[in-house]
Chains A and B, each alone.
Chain A
């Protein structure tokens, strides 16, 4: 999988929106952008994915830059339960379905 770059950590206040950035300048045309998160002592959890257009679901929104070299995961109102490590992953169409995780961003939410 192509590489992604994320900040090591971010802080947010409860009830405020959070924008988690991800750079993927070497993305290829068939790479999907996936986001997962891992809460303490749990397995990773799927959040959202997209290819070119912005995406919304009940958990979050994904904003994808026009050139696809970066994306932003948006949590509209952070809660304490959103404190987790967030992973931005590029998933190739022919990668044998494997996800390769990077270091992720540790999000801390302050009450």
Chain B
């Protein structure tokens, strides 16, 4: 069973469109995250979210918004896509303590044309 699953695996879309990436975890974790990995391979935290608190990396444009229908899901919605949004997006989950390892999905490769 896949612990953290993301869909779709690949997403190609045009500038200006709105798109969503879905993430689900079956580990019973209470905290979920979104990371962005750009073409230079740097992994940057975008959001950390549990049922009490959303922490946003201040560099993330407000076109990006996480939406969590329940504890097992954290979807990433992106409005008005730009060329610079092209990257691989990783979802992750963990328990809410600093020792709990993060479990990552296999990523969604977003290409904006």
Q: Which of the listed residues B43, B55, B101 has the most CB atoms from chain A within 10 Å of its own CB?
A: B43
Whether A91 contacts B92 by the Cβ 8 Å rule is no
User: Measured between alpha carbons, how far is A87 from B100 in the docked complex, in Å?
Assistant: 16
Residues of A contacting B: mostly: loop
Enumerate chain A residues within 8 angstroms of B98, measured Cβ to Cβ: 32, 91-95, 97
The number of inter-chain residue pairs (CB within 8 angstroms) is: 58
| Interface footprint category on B | 20 to 34
What 1/0 flags go to A28-56 for Cβ under 8 Å of B?
A: 00001010101001111110010000000
**CB within 8 Å of B: which A65-105 residues:** 85, 87, 91-101, 103
Whether B55 contacts A44 by the Cβ 8 Å rule is no
In chain B, what residue has the closest Cβ to A36?
B102
| Interface footprint category on A | 20 to 34
Nearest chain B CB to A22's CB is how many angstroms away? 16
Which residues of A come within 8 Å of B, CB atoms? 32, 34, 36, 38, 41-46, 49, 85, 87, 91-101, 103
Which residues of B come within 8 Å of A, CB atoms? 4, 31, 33, 35, 41-45, 48, 53, 55, 90, 92, 94, 96-107
A-B contact pairs, 21 of them (CB 8 A): A32-B99, A36-B102, A43-B106, A44-B43, A44-B90, A44-B92, A45-B104, A87-B43, A91-B98, A92-B98, A93-B98, A94-B98, A97-B33, A97-B48, A97-B94, A97-B96, A97-B97, A97-B98, A98-B55, A101-B35, A101-B44
